[in-house]
Amino acid sequence: MPDAGMKGQFDADALRRKVSDLPAGDTEDAPSVLNPFALQIASQFRDENTSPSLLIGQIRLLEFLSLLALGLLAMVTLTAPDNAGLPTHFAIALLGALVSVIAMQAADTYQIPLLRIAARARRRVVVAWLIGFAASAGTLHFVETGSISITGHFIWFFGTAVFLLIERQLVAFGIRHWARNGIMERRAVIVGGGEPAKQLVRALEQQPDNDIRICGIFDDRGSGRSPPVVAGYPKLGTFAELVEFARLARVDMLIIALPASAEARILQLLRKLWVLPVDIRLAAHANHLRFRPRSYSHVGAVPMFDIFDKPLRDWDSVAKRVFDIVFSLLALVMIWPVMIGAAIAVKATSKGPVFFVQKRHGFNNEVIDVLKFRSMYTEMSDPTAKKAVTKNDPRVTPVGRFLRKSSIDELPQLFNVLRGSLSLVGPRPHSIHAQTGERRYVDVVESYFARHRVKPGVTGWAQINGLRGELDSDEKIRMRTAYDLEYIENWSLLFDLKILFLTPIRLLNVDNAY
């Protein structure tokens, strides 16, 4: 951590590395029980919210498609029927829409303050559309000289301008409504109390058009050093209880209100908190040290040190969801005969249902129901999976043994993917009671719950690297967790695609599949 004599920049990477170097035993052993007041507050934030950056992207896409459609409509209806065909008109309309959106982006019209109050951005929006219109009309005139009259150009320009102004007015109304109802906000918890927390809250409240919603304050110190109410916000519990609160309340950001010099305390905090799928920031507003600008991110004008970022945020999560849906549907189209054959074989060779439903840990440590083809005798099945399946396990049916070795028993999880509880690629979901020997996985690997910062997957990086099936030793669960965390830190769609296409090849290795 920096001191008064340092001239360099704050090294968040070094701080993250130190988290993994702390002595073992300082992680959660079981969910802490929240007090009734904290539970009540958490229940108010159970509903999903939409991040401002995701909303801005949706508005940008809406305007691009609208301009494209209006431009194409204008050229189709206002040009002579014997002029250039639809492909040419589409290309010209595409050019105009693209130039207009780029111009609006350059004019900062996609900032929340300008979207919230449409009157602030009217002139910029019209000028941006004028630039896009000039690009379209000029190209059209070059391709089809005199194809649209002066009146036609007038109708096209002013009709689209009126549409944009009305659309921006409706967007402004929607944003104000969503802000009032908590749909468009970033939910934050202040970690640490006392005077530093008070200063931070006041600084955040002074930001114009602030999208931060402070849910409460958590601090381990007693009321003598950390009062029960700070700047009007209640202290909801201890740091240990914060982990459970953040999961229940769908918190987006944890802001640590401690001085950067309190390295040991910050490290202990991060050891507990980094397993959560949230942004973790260290407030720097009261820090008298000044670092290079790139050391900071900002909430309004309030500087923050970025310690951990939420994985798969905003448009990354959208892209991954589209990837999951497209490839799951393709897979179902290709393998439905295999699935029907497996279902018939399971039903015909042993009593009981075709499918086996098991409760496992999902995203953010939530419990989900995972589908599989039943591979055990019904009377011997173990929904808790407390006892792992071993080689020649008498509980497994002959058909089930083949299904497990070939991983065909996992195919129904494609329906979990379509429902949204699983992803195609991600850390494999483990049973909520899974253990190695007599020890729970979390007792073996202290960073175990960090696997749940993303949705679990039907296949994963650990499985590609040979870690399938039974986890009968501490080393295996440590290695699987390490591969899972490597996947989360290095995620990309290309990485997902690589894992997806390697999966059938690696399934040929059945050494650990029982």
Of 64-68, 86-90, 213-217, highest mean pLDDT: 64-68
Give me Rg for the CA atoms of the chain. 28
Residue finishing a domain among 157, 180, 203: 180
Decide: helix, strand or coil at residue 282: strand
Give the single-character DSSP code of 35.
P
DSSP 254: E
271/346 same-domain check? no
**Is 2 within the bounds of a domain?**
no
How far does CA 410 lie from the centroid of its chain? 24
**Residue 222 pLDDT > 80:** no
Question: Of 308, 332, 347, which residue is a domain's last?
Answer: 308
357 in the same domain as 493: yes
**Could you tell me the pTM of the whole model?**
0.77
Mean pLDDT (the chain, rounded): 82
User: Which of 6-20, 289-303, 407-421 is most confident?
Assistant: 407-421
Please identify which residue in the block is written with the tokens 């829409």. Answer: 97
pLDDT of amino acid 510: 56
Query: Per-residue pLDDT averaged across 49-64, rounded?
Result: 86
The SS3 call for residue 283 is strand
Is residue 240 within 8 Å of residue 259, measured between CB atoms? no
pLDDT at residue 1 in the model: 37
Check whether residue 59 and residue 44 sit in a common domain.
no
Task: Give the N- to C-terminal CA distance of the chain in Å, as an integer.
Answer: 49
**Domain identity same for 118 and 147:** yes
Could you read off the pLDDT of 140-149 as tens digits, one per residue? Answer: 888 765 567 7
Q: What is the pLDDT of residues 104-143, one digit of tens each?
A: 999 989 988 888 888 989 999 999 999 999 998 888 888 7
Q: Are residues 68 and 44 in the same domain?
A: no
Residue type, 141: H
Residue-level pLDDT at 140: 82
In a shared domain, residues 252 and 374: no
Residue 302 is assigned to a structural domain of this protein:
yes
The answer as to whether 511 is a domain residue is: no
What's the average model confidence in pLDDT over 458-466? Answer: 89
CATH number at residue 258: 3.40.50.20
Asked if 476 and 390 sit in the same domain, the reply is yes
Strands 229-230 and 279-283: unpaired
Q: Is residue 447 part of a domain?
A: yes
Share of the chain above pLDDT 90, in %: 28
Q: Residue 5: which pLDDT band, with cuts at 50, 70 and 90?
A: very low
The answer, yes or no, to whether residue 34 has pLDDT greater than 50, is yes
Q: What average pLDDT score do residues 92-98 get?
A: 92
Task: Report DSSP letters for 394-406, one per residue.
Answer: TTB-HHHHHHHHH
The answer to whether the beta carbons of residues 307 and 334 sit under 8 Å apart is no
pLDDT digits (tens, 9 = 90+) for 159-218: 999 999 999 999 999 888 887 776 777 888 998 887 888 888 888 888 776 778 888 888
- 135, 161, 180 - which closes a domain: 180
The span from the CA of 310 to the CA of 363, in Å, is: 12
Number of domains in the chain: 3
Domain residue limits at 40: 12-49+185-308
Residues 366 and 470 in one domain: yes
Are 79 and 222 in the same domain?
no
What are the DSSP calls for 49-109, one per residue?
A: ---HHHHHHHHHHHHHHHHHHHHHHHHHHHS-TTSS-HHHHHHHHHHHHHHHHHHHHHTTT
User: Do 166 and 204 fall within a single domain?
Assistant: no
Q: Is the pLDDT of residue 469 over 70?
A: no
* Percent of the chain predicted with pLDDT > 70: 83
Residue with tokens 């040991």: 264
8 has pLDDT over 60: no
| Shared-domain flag, residues 76 and 163 | yes
pLDDT at 512: 59
Q: Is residue 7 part of a domain?
A: no
Q: Are residues 191 and 214 in the same domain?
A: yes
